[in-house]
């Protein structure tokens, strides 16, 4: 799990949140659990294709609907306009959303997978190290997980965010810019990362190991989480179960997922081999690490105000 400008985001999100007031009543009426997912979220795609969640939620009187998004910020936007109830994102998007007043909770998470995101350059680029990024154009999805990774990578190598020229692009646009040489480097996550390695011969100058944990979160709208905890717990259990199957069957997973998302199996296998799997409930230690990221974004004025991540904790009796 993974762009919104800080102040602009706050203004935009304020409008989105106006529609949330009627959400609990609507949910109680139609009992449709609306899942937003990302292209790289193969575990959710497997649940969708196999109808597993539909089977597990039917005894509770719920059906399921699905909608795909390119990245975490856009996915969270759908939660905040009341168009979705649940979805996976990276570490940064929920911080930006919370700073803008989003009514969300951290429902669950996947283990840290720092090798699933990297700073990449074209194969013939003279850039060899992060220090070489000074005064270079670096593409990234602002407000996504790689935003924090880039900040940490720069600071660990004696640079600041002001030493580069960030170019804020969603993954598809960033790939196009990267391919035609309009940017010097691209900070990206799997499967886009693996696709650039395989299809473009892109070269990684650093992954997030030792810099950013790259934890994927499952975020839910607070109204749905508080009113229907059993539904949310059932969904998280199903995700953990499919994660266990994927962990033991990575090659088969890649082969089966390939035609579903239009990516070659070798790209998917490369991505999943870098990943840690196993969904669980968010605990205090995980939220403590999230607070560190939020504090960095506050210091850099990437979010409009300081936040307390614990305010978005999902509490059940």
Domains along the sequence of the chain with CATH: 6-113+215-312 (3.40.190.10), 114-207 (3.40.190.10)
Cα angle 108-114-193, degrees, rounded to a multiple of 5: 105
pLDDT in tens, 208-265: 999 999 999 999 999 999 999 999 999 999 999 999 999 999 999 999 989 888 889 9
CA distance 166 to 313: 32
DSSP character string of the chain: -----HHHHHHHHHHHHGGGGGHHHHHHHH-EEEEEEETT-HHHHHHHHHTHHHHHHGGGT-EEEEEEESSHHHHHHHHHTTS-SEEEE-SHHHHHHHHTT--EEEEEEE---GGGEEEEE-TT-S--SGGGGTT-EEEE-TTSHHHHHHHHHHHHTT--GGGSEEEE--HHHHHHHHHTTSSSEEEEETTHHHHHHHHH--EEEEESTTT----EEEEEEHHHHHH-HHHHHHHHHHHHHHHHHHHH-HHHHHHHHHHHHT--HHHHHHHHHT-----B---HHHHHHHHHHHHHHHHTT-SSS---GGGGB----
pLDDT at 127: 98
pLDDT at 19: 38
pLDDT at 92: 86
The pTM of this model reads 0.80
CA distance 209 to 290: 17
CA distance 137 to 168: 10
pLDDT in tens, 154-175: 999 999 999 999 999 989 999 9
pLDDT at 108: 95
Which residue numbers in the chain have pLDDT < 70?
1-29, 39-41, 70-72, 81, 317
């Amino acid at each position: 799990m993974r762009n919104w400008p800080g102040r602009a985001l706050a203004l935009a999100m304020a409008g989105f949140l106006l529609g949330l007031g009627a959400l609990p009543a609507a949910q109680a009426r139609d009992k449709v659990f609306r899942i937003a997912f990302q292209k790289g979220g193969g575990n959710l795609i497997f649940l969708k294709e196999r109808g597993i969640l539909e089977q597990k939620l039917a005894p509770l009187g719920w059906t399921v609907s699905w909608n795909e998004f390119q990245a975490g910020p856009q996915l969270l936007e759908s939660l905040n306009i009341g168009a979705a109830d649940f979805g996976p994102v990276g570490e940064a998007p929920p911080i930006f959303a919370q700073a803008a007043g989003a009514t969300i909770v951290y429902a669950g998470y996947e283990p840290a997978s720092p090798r699933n995101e990297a700073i990449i350059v074209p194969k013939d680029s003279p850039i060899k190290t992060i220090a070489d990024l000074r005064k270079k154009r670096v593409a990234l999805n602002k407000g996504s997980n790689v935003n924090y990774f880039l900040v940490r990578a720069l600071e660990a190598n004696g640079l600041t965010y002001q030493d580069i020229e960030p170019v804020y692009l969603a993954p598809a646009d960033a790939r196009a810019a990267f391919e035609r040489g309009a940017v010097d480097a691209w900070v990206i996550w799997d499967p886009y990362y693996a696709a650039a390695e395989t299809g473009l011969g892109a070269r990684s100058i650093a992954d997030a190991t030792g810099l950013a944990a790259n934890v994927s979160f499952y975020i839910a709208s607070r109204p749905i989480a508080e009113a229907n905890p059993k539904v949310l717990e059932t969904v998280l259990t199903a995700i953990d179960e499919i994660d266990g199957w994927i962990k033991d069957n990575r090659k088969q997973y890649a082969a089966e997922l390939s035609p579903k998302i239009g990516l070659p199996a070798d790209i998917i296998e490369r991505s999943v081999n870098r990943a840690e799997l196993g969904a669980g409930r968010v605990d205090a230690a995980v939220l403590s690490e999230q607070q560190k990221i939020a504090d960095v974004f506050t210091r850099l004025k990437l979010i409009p105000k300081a936040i307390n991540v614990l305010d978005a904790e999902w509490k059940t009796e």
